[in-house]
Structure 1
Amino acid sequence: MEEKNKQKQAAAKARADALSPADRSAIAKQAAGKRWAKEHGLPQAQFGSSEQPLVIGGIEIDCYVLDDGRRVLTQESFLTSIGRAGKAKGGQGVRTAVDKLPPFLAATNLQPFVDQELSQPTTPIEFVTPNGARVFGYPAEMLPEVCRVYLSARDAGTLMSSQSHIAQRADMLVRALASVGIVALVDEATGYQEVRDKKALSALLDKYLLQEFAKWAKRFPDSFYKEMFRLRDWTYPTVSGQKPGVVGKYTMDIVYDRLAPGLVQELETRNPKNDAGKRVSKHHQWLSEDVGHPALSEHIHAVTGLMRACDNWPQFMNMLDRAFPRKGASLRLEGFD
């Protein structure tokens, strides 16, 4: 027995000696993390790794399954996924006070849309990852619920301009998660989940979101608005960062009225304003990829060139009317629907 123990000790020493300093450090950190979790009653992640994150729309999201079965997203990943900064300004927000909402739901204008379950005092879940790191996270199920809060506020017309990009990201996430969810249910019902590639659902979600991001891509370059502001003798950009309301009317006249006959009327029908005077999407998102978007890009490029050649707004409009007269409403051009 003594000889057998000596052999085990020798083998253990040999394995330890073969480890690199980095490997030894990682093992020590993992052991320390587990001890800390046990001493302080913290949950431990049984599955998940920061080296193999969930990737959706090109954004890496660290996710884990805890030893009590909870699925969690790290706090930083949660914030990044909805378009917020991963870390709050000034280092604040790492924890949330027990009697407060998470920072991404704390805005006053969001409160009417926060349901009873989400409105409960919430603190990030502190847990230990498989490699021994102590991190904070939120339940994965909370992500679509938070998205719905922003979408409800958007539909009611109560979003602030600083929140609009979060609503856009939320819209994409909810659509993508719903699409992947039905695929997962079919796979589970048919048994295909046992043989499919482990990253299949993640890849599907990523592909869907990348397509959605493309729809939201900027179609009007900054140069277009810089030249418009110059000709109108406006300061660019404005102090608030917002464009004057009349810019939308100018854009309709300069661009959409001159692209195709009947286009403006069709866009107004398909993409009307809501009761708050807001549109759910941008007009250019309704143009076709093969005809509409190329025509839009070509027209904007040409119009911007005309602007650069002019000294004032009347001169530009005179040249625009000659070069690109309004199309009218008598015909429709195929490819713009």
Structure 2
Amino acid sequence: MQDRTVYSHSVRHRVAVLARQMTLPIELGIVHQLFGQARAGASADGEPLYEVITCALRAGRVRTDGDFTVNVGHGPEALAEADTVIVLSSYEDYEQQQPALSGPLADALSRIRPGTRVASICTGAFVLASAGLLDGQAATTHWRYADRFARLFPRVDLDTDVLYTDGGDVLTSAGCASGIDLCLHMIRHDFGMAVANDVARRTIVPPHREGGQVQYVRHPVPQPSSPSTAAARGWALQRLAEPITLGQMAAQESMSVRNFTRRFRDEVGTTPMNWLTQQRVERARELLEESDLPVEQVAERAGLGTAANLRQHFHAALGTSPSAYRTTFRGPGAAA
């Protein structure tokens, strides 16, 4: 986890969404729907935690990839007041052949205050890369445009096997639906897992998707008659606090360990034991946010054994300690 400000519930965090000509309405809807659903106390009656503003390079009608336009009331001046700026993709990105910004777009981005969090959805990463915001950082974009992106921006560490990347103040996501994953990730970071999970439940989307673009690019979707690992994953999630072996997981699907491991990687994008560790870290995050259990008990209930083991995996996954994480989301008086 990167070191960023956790925003006070008493002040709405302002998100400015930059929509350009030939924008994809689904992306605009994703941002407004998810951030708009975030409420203090993870309650539908709570105060809104975000204010979402749509802006364009010039206020007025913005063309979409459908048979309608969007009337945007704000120009680029809205970017100067934002805490987070999200750059949507545009069909214009698909034709980009030069690693440079147009004059109006460069002028718009110059209005963003230093320290503002900037994110992109899908090919919006081309804009961030053209502005030099991704140099030397990991980034992603839609796999169909990855080769061209890599040619245009060789100084960016492109990773097309993930749904999103988080470089601290600069984040990117893959295809447009990955914008859901990215928005939930930002909400989770800003206001905690309970708020993000509440948004996911009310929007009827998974709070955290497993795997990355690899599951959509390299392999066909398994047919209903094909073997699956879903039952094993469900079985393991109900027993995270218990010792779980690879053989036990394979037995849930009546597969050999070898076949199960191969099928699991095909479906999820990682190995069964790596996935299991990820789920245990996620469980530890929930316990640290929602309970006052000592770190030792958190480690036991999450299935990570000891506090030392929890700290090791927590730091590897999130770049922070369990105690620091709890302080961030529960305040300095929270139990260690």
TM-score, length-scaled by structure 2: 0.26
TM-score, length-scaled by structure 1: 0.26
